[in-house]
């Protein structure tokens, strides 16, 4: 008898939780994403982007990703584990452009190489090459503003219109 009552109470609790939780889940799914203004500007400047959340967007056709810092800071543990396989804030195997010097600020990153990528309205102040070979360059037209070799980063001075990557 006790088992039947316990099972009935557990079932009732499960149903109540489902009924009360459903409107919250539906409201969350219906809430539109409002991307950070920097992401909005890049989406307008470089077509083909997809917003993942307020602070991340991807351009599948370019193998490009943009991330801007969320208002709260990352935990020290997350930063230290990411640093083991990266150059600054650029993940291993990627090439990255940053809006601030020293690999700080908003970030554009690419996972493929041997091409040239537009940066749209993104202001590039540093670049990083977290690959094991090759180099990347920040360019304005044909003028090279900065070069980062595999496993290194550098600050960028002047306007940048494209990021070039060479294996």
Give the model confidence (pLDDT) of 93-128 as tens digits: 999 999 999 999 999 999 888 888 899 999 999 999
| Torsion sign across C-alpha atoms 99, 122, 114, 69 | positive
Give the model confidence (pLDDT) of 63-88 as tens digits: 888 888 877 554 444 444 444 458 88
Beta bridge partners of 146: 138
- Residue showing tokens 């943009």: 66
Q: How far is C-alpha 86 from the chain's CA centre? A: 14
Contact 103, 153 (CB under 8 A): yes
Instruction: Tell how strand 135-140 and strand 143-149 pair up.
Output: antiparallel
């Amino acid at each position: 008898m006790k088992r039947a009552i316990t099972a009935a109470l557990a079932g009732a609790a499960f149903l109540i939780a489902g009924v009360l939780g459903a409107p919250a889940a539906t409201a969350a799914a219906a809430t539109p994403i409002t991307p950070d203004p920097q992401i909005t500007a890049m989406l307008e400047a470089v077509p083909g982007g997809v917003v993942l959340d307020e602070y991340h967007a991807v351009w599948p056709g370019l193998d490009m990703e943009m991330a801007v810092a969320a208002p709260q800071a990352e935990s020290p543990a997350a930063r230290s584990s990411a640093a083991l396989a990266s150059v600054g804030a650029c993940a291993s195997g990627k090439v990255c452009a940053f809006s601030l010097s020293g690999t700080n600020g908003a970030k554009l990153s690419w996972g493929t190489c041997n091409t040239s990528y537009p940066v749209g309205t993104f202001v590039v102040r540093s670049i990083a090459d977290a690959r094991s070979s090759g180099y990347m360059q920040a360019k304005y037209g044909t003028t090279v503003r900065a070069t980062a070799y595999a496993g290194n980063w550098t600050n960028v001075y002047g306007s940048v219109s494209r990021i070039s990557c060479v294996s």
